[in-house]
Structures are given as structure tokens and as C-alpha cells.
Structure 1
Amino acid sequence: MALTMNDVDRFEASMPRLEAIAYRLLGSASDAEDAVQDTFLRWQAADTGRIEVPEAWLTKVLTNLCLSRLTSARARRETYVGQWLPEPLLAGDPMLGPADTVEQRESVSYAVLALMERLSPNERAVYVLREAFGYPHRDIAEILDLTEAACQQILHRARKHVADGRPRTEIDEAAARRIVEEFLAAATSGRTEPLVRLLTADVISVGDGGGKVPARAKAFEGAVAVAKFMRGLFKPSKAKRAITGGSPEVYTTTANGSPAVVAVVDGRVIGVICLEITTEGIAAFRSQANPDKLERATRRWAASDHGEPLFSAF
């Protein structure tokens, strides 16, 4: 059945919300775009005149498409080379979605997206729809074909899983930026001690190269081990320049609402390091270097005003 212009307008009005839901569910901007496109194809094939609440219909279709993708993605990740991390979204990306409440901001943070990988597909869907978008349990139950009581139990479990791994109290944006700049100064000083002082004792560093860029399969753990790794990461070498295609320019920004370091070569984002900063120091570094997961970041970078680099690395 051919869509009317009104049908197209109704779908396009829902797209930002659908993309934001899909990204939180899948942790991948490219997969989120594909899921929204598949939702449109189903909207195109539907008898839209008989759909009383388009928003609810579209959300249900999208969510169930994402649940199917999550199930197959888990199988693919068993053969993924090295650590799997979400695709980062840089400051201002519309796919980040609403950020008016603490719950909305947390649900798209890089730390919580990584934690949500521990959840079952249903736990992730209930958590996202409730925490990030405020859907009532009645609507979530309808979307997932569950009872309201089941949704409430699932949300309780999901919240507990996320809370168990959630970072300690974070600090304000200005202080976080200052710590990022101190970290970069320490990392390029060639000395380990200044770095150790900025880190928590149980700090971790995880990297995702996807088998296309060198990245350690196992996380670095502990202040000394992470400090040595970071000192080495920012140490110049011809081998690094050969891998990256040049000497990267380094910037500070935010990704997924959290402090981040971005490395850029000739306008191409080659790495994003998301920092988890608490009142006790830097608790985690999550580095995305898989080029397949940086294409959207590169497009966003080209369209944004990011100022001057702090320095050139390698």
C-alpha cells in the first residue's frame, strides 16, 4: 500500500526517538539506522489507516526488530576479535536522544552501555524504555507481549545489574575537563608517577580494535599497569604513525555525554577514549579504535566546530 505524505511525515517525526531507542538497545549507530530503516519498510507495508496510535505501533515494531538483532549479535560477538565495545557518539549527535534527566543521561553513557551488554535482550529493552524514555509498564508490557508484573520484575533485575557495576559518584563537567587535560599532560610527560596519581587503585583500560587495529584482548587492571600502558600509548614511534596513517591530532570533547579524548588524522577519527571520572580519580578508560565503529564519529566531527587540537601525538 502506497504511503501518503501524511504517513511519511508521521514516520519522519518519530525518527529521532526511534533512532535514540535503537542505539541504546544495540550499542551501534549503524545497526540502529538499519533497524529504523526496517521499521519504515514495515510501516510502508502496513495498513496505516487502521493504526490508531502510530507512535506505539512504530515503537513496538522497532523494539522487536532490535531484540532479534540483539540475539544474533550475541552469537556474532562470541567470535569477535578482542573486546567488544559500543560505538561512541560525539557531542551533539542527535542519536544521543533526550538528556533532560539523570536516568536519560546515564542510559546513553558509555559506561552504562557497556554494562548493558550483561543484560538479557528483554532486560535491556525494559530498562531502556522505562529509564530513558519513561514508558509506563503497561505500554512496555504491550510492546514486549509480557505482563505488567513481569516487566516490573525485569526492570528490578536490570536496575540491579546496572547499579552493581555503575561508577561511583561522578564530578562536574568543568572538573572532569580539567582532569582530562591533566591526564593528557601526564600521559605525554614520559613518566608513570603523575599518571598513577590521577587514577583509582582499581582503574581498568579496555580497548576495541575489532581485529583491524592492534588492541589488547584482555583489559589492563590497576593504577600502575594502566599508567604504563597510557604512557606507552602516547609515546611517539614510526610504527604507530604507520598504523594510523600519520601523526594524530588530539582533542578533548565529550562522547555519550562523558569526557573523551579524540584522535584525528586528516579529518578522520581514528580513536575515541571515553573516560569514567569519579571523585576518587579516573576509574576507567574505554577506547574505541575499530574503524567500522568510527564512521559516524568522523561524519559528526567534520560537521562540528571542535576548535584547535591540544597537541599532535605519536
Structure 2
Amino acid sequence: MPNTPAKILYIDDDPALGRLVQKVLGRQGRDIIHVTGADDGLERLKDGDIDVLVLDHYLADRTGLAMLEEVAARENSPPVVYVTGSTEAAIAVAALKSGAADYVLKTVGEDFLELLSNAIEQAIETSRLRKARERAEREMREARERAELALAEVNHRVANSLALVAALVRLQMSAVTDPAAKEALAETQGRISAIAGIHKRLYTTDDVRFVEIDAYLGNLASDIQATMSLDGSAADIRLLAEPLRLPTDKAVSVGVIVNELVTNAAKYAYRDREAGEIRVKASQIEPGKIEIVVEDDGIGWMGEGKIHGTGVGSRVIAATASGLGATLAYENVARGTRARLQIEI
């Protein structure tokens, strides 16, 4: 099937030149529509089938610049080649600033028609490339939106499945009488819940690439607090977090580490003494680096020496921090324990 000729709307109040342009450019396979006034041109543009508008500067009812402003304000307006018989550079500059794709100096002879033909061809090609780019960007955007919807559904299902597993572990814990087994199951349930919390954040966010870490840590602290209350612990968890975003894969590791640090503090920091406070702080210390501090006012531990419990939690913390490429340090404080985690983002 032959290609449809490009439709060119030529607005010029010179009927003789209009016929010449129709004749010469028509031979080149273009459909030239000539009108002599701006109003007629604007009316013809409403059909929406014009590929290029050729606009003369001097018109009977207004200047081409005045009409160009009206054309540029319309949606999906065609590219404009501006034609002027004036040698004033200011006119050409004004036309380009107002949205014209190109301009041609009107002269006597074949040079004008050749330049006009080349400008029209360039405008058609530029418009074609622009539309192709916009179409590709639109398709990519739609594909991404479909993928994000699918990923949100996956995260929803994973979060629900992990919540179910955590509930089953909790149920199993209630049926166990051995204290060590109970503690191991409780720790396992806490780790599962921490990871489930990440997936829950992901299916409620607009960008699955990142997690609002301050909101996530707030939910995590609430979950740990609720679990501690069920187990009879009265330690109070307080969160002091700046609005921060972390890539999803790093947020999962941070959640696991914070869960272990807070759980360990809840179980051991206030052993044999009145329960106190556990503070979780999150802040950006410099561009591209954040730190999370977990501290308490309990018996104190520097990350070495005798380990309370099985030591699994400490090994989980060390392995996860190493995999995250983060630095974890226990600081020497007058009272209690302070663990400082620094992460590159």
C-alpha cells in the first residue's frame, strides 16, 4: 500500500505564490493545502490531519507570530515552518522562541522553494522521531505500571503467607513446654514478622524500589512491643527517625538487624532489674550514608565476651551486616548498650 502523502497547510496571503508552492511541492508527493488568512488556517487545523504548518509572517488579518502563539497553545499542534520576507533576525528569533521548528527566508526564485521543501522534510522527520520517542516512553511507562501492579500483588501474597507462617510458629510455641524451645520459636517468629513487614510496606507504596524506612521501623517497633507485652516484658521501645528511604534489598537486611538488636535488648538489657527504655534512632549522617542506633540503659554489652542465650541472634546480626556491606560497632557508654549501624545507600 503506497504511503499517504504528507499534508502541508500553507498560510500565505499571496495567491500566486500559494499556487506555485502547490504546484512545485505537489510534484514531490506532498498534499499542499493553501489558505490566505490566519482564521481560515486555524479552522483547517481543527481537522487534526496536518503534518506541517507553513506560516508566512505578513498576513492580512494578523501577523504570523500572533497566529503562532495560538497554534503553540493547542494540544498536538503540527510542527511549524515560519516563512518571512524580512531580513530582520529578530523576527526569525521570535518565531523560534514561540515554537517554530524552523524558518525560511522568502526570496525570489527557486532557492526559496528548495529551502522550503528541505525545511518541511526536516520538520516531518523530527516530528516522526518525537512521536516515536513519546510512544516508546508511553509504552515503557505502561509496562512499568503493569509490572509494579503485578509486583505489588506478589508482595501482598508473600506478606500474607509470611504472616500465616509467623502465626503458625506462635501457635506451635504455645504448645511447647521446654523454655529453650519456646525462646527459639519466639525468635524465629520475630524474624519472620520483620521480613513480612517489608513486603507489607512494598504493596502499599507507590515505588517498590524503595522503602520508607522510618515508617517501617515504626511498624516493626510496634510489632516487637506487642510481642514483648504478650511475653510479660515491660521494656518501652521509642523510635526517633528522620524521613528516610532505603532500596528494598537493603531495607530487608536493616529490618532483620534492628529486629535482633531490639529483641536482644528487650530480653537481656534489663535482666534482674526494673525494665527501662530501648531507643531506635535513624538519621542521615551525610549524603549517601545513613545510620541506625539501637541503645538501652541496661546492664551493658560491648559486642564481645559472654553471650546471653544461644548466640544465634548475634551471629544473624554479624552475618546480615556483612552481607549488607554495613559497619556495626558497639560503643563504650557509661550505662547500657549502644549499637551503631552505618549503611551506604
TM-score, reference length from structure 2: 0.24
Q: Relative contact order: is structure 1 or structure 2 higher (C-alpha 8 Å, sep ≥ 6)?
A: 1
Larger Rg: 2
Relative to the length of structure 1, the TM-score reads 0.26
